[in-house]
Amino acid sequence: MVGSGVVTLVIAGIASLFMAWAIGAGSSGSTPFAPAVGANAISVMRAGFFVGLLGFFGAVLQGANVSEAVGTELIGGVQLTAIAATTGLLVAAILVAIGVFTGYPIATAFTVTGAIVGVGLAMGGDPAWAKYRQISALWVLTPVVGSTIAYTTARLLRSERTSEGVVIPLLGGFVGLIIANVKFVIFGPPDVSQSVAETAADALSLPAVAGFETGRIVVSLAVAGFIAGLLAWDVHRDLDAGQRHFLLALGSLVAFSAGGSQVGLAIGPLVPLLDPFEIPLVPVLVGGGLGLLAGSWTGAPRMIKALAQDYSALGPRRSIAALIPSFAIAQVAVFFGIPVSFNEIIVSAIVGSGFAAEGGSSVSKRKMGFTVLAWVASLVLAIGVGYGAFTLIDTVS
């Protein structure tokens, strides 16, 4: 029985690596630097190289929340078996891989979530309605909030009534507030993620005022002020260079966030299988991160080109506008442990920033229509195929 369990775990692990490769080649590998490539701030191949490295570190440092949610919170009443996990991962990976090779960005979170729910229901599990409501709320709000923020930011950067020398540092300060409060597993007690602001606040030991954590606020403002000041100096010295540096920094943050979110889609189904073998989660996160890295280096350039050139002719301003909400939404998803598609995040933001120029004439509406259809179809198809595939396997075995 032990030998059989090890074999099935190994098979599930191979399926997980295949899924990680497909995600790295598609969602997490292509989306973070697509706006920067579209703005000619970095080449396609160089973007694929850096996004792979950053995604790996994000997977290791931030991947636990989403991994545990995908593995244990999508279905109730049953625990995923190795066969169920393998079936769900293979169904999702094949659908994502089809999207990679056809040039259409399949929403990875839709596909993985649908496949795991499908196999879970086929096992006789109960729908986890509370988690579904949480997930669907983020999925529905992402295009609305992301495109709105991107549109507003792009208009602000393009307005003749505002100075980019002032707006860009202010935007950098906003990003700094988020960075200061992003949680990492390397901070805080064992098995507890903690932010830079929380860690530094503990060291400062400042008293709370009116219920507010003074130390955390002070540290957050200090980080925001430092980044804003650095950007102010950079754009004052050379506006174009400052824009490019800010854009590349944002792309790096989004790539890191992509690793933290997307690795959970690949290794999450393995989480229920680890306890019987006393396998800690961190080594599995490392393996998933390596799978993302391999996918980014081997398959991402095609999708980066598709997003950067087919969806919108982006310039530096609209690229910055697209990446800011992408980073913020990604970190919200990581914090709450919600599987979310980076294709949905970044494409929505690209469209929002694209509409800021000439009423959206630079946005391919036909391409967007097919993309939205692919998102919806991937969820429905993944549920159906996952349910049918596991039912067939269970019947045959």
In terms of phi and psi (left: phi > 0; alpha: psi -120 to 50; beta: otherwise), the region of 133 is alpha
CA atoms within 13 A on the CB side of 56: 15
CA atoms within 13 A on the CB side of 282: 8
Task: Enter the tokens of residue 197.
Answer: 């602001």
Torsion 132-179-30-167 (CA) sign:
positive
- Predicted pLDDT at 312: 46
pTM of the model: 0.86
The two most distant CA atoms of the chain are separated, in Å, by: 72
Rounded CA separation 109/379 (Å): 9
H or E element that contains 303: helix 281-305
Q: What is the pLDDT along the chain (397 residues), one digit of tens a residue?
A: 455 567 777 888 888 888 888 788 776 666 677 777 777 778 888 888 888 899 999 999 999 899 999 999 999 999 888 888 888 988 887 877 776 677 665 678 888 999 999 999 999 999 999 999 999 999 989 989 999 999 999 888 888 888 888 999 999 999 999 999 998 877 766 667 788 898 888 888 788 777 778 889 999 999 999 999 999 999 999 998 899 899 999 989 999 998 998 899 999 999 888 877 788 888 999 999 999 999 888 877 777 776 666 544 567 888 888 899 999 999 999 989 999 887 788 878 878 887 766 555 555 667 677 777 877 888 898 999 999 999 998 888 7
Structural domains in the chain (count): 1
Rounded CA separation 188/207 (Å): 20
Orientation angle between helical segments 82-102 and 365-396, nearest 10 degrees:
150
Distant-in-sequence, close-in-space partners of 65: CB < 8 Å, separation ≥ 6: 193, 264, 334, 335, 336, 337
CA atoms within 13 A on the CB side of 244: 11
Residue span of the structural domain in which 166 resides: 2-396
- Predicted pLDDT at 311: 46
DSSP string for 181-247 = T-EETTSSSTT--EEHHHHHHHHHTPPPBTTB-HHHHHHHHHHHHHHHHHHHHHHHH-HHHHHHHHH
Instruction: Report whether 21 contacts 294 (CB < 8 A).
Output: yes
Question: 3-state class of 126 per DSSP?
Answer: strand
- Predicted pLDDT at 363: 57
Burial track 327-342 (b if 16+ CB lie within 10 A, e otherwise):
bbbbbbbbbebbbbbb
- Predicted pLDDT at 1: 44
- Predicted pLDDT at 29: 64
Amino acid making up residue 185: V
- Predicted pLDDT at 185: 76
Instruction: Report whether 52 contacts 251 (CB < 8 A).
Output: no
Instruction: Report whether 229 contacts 169 (CB < 8 A).
Output: yes
Q: How far is CA 218 from CA 76, 197, 212, in A?
A: 42, 8, 11
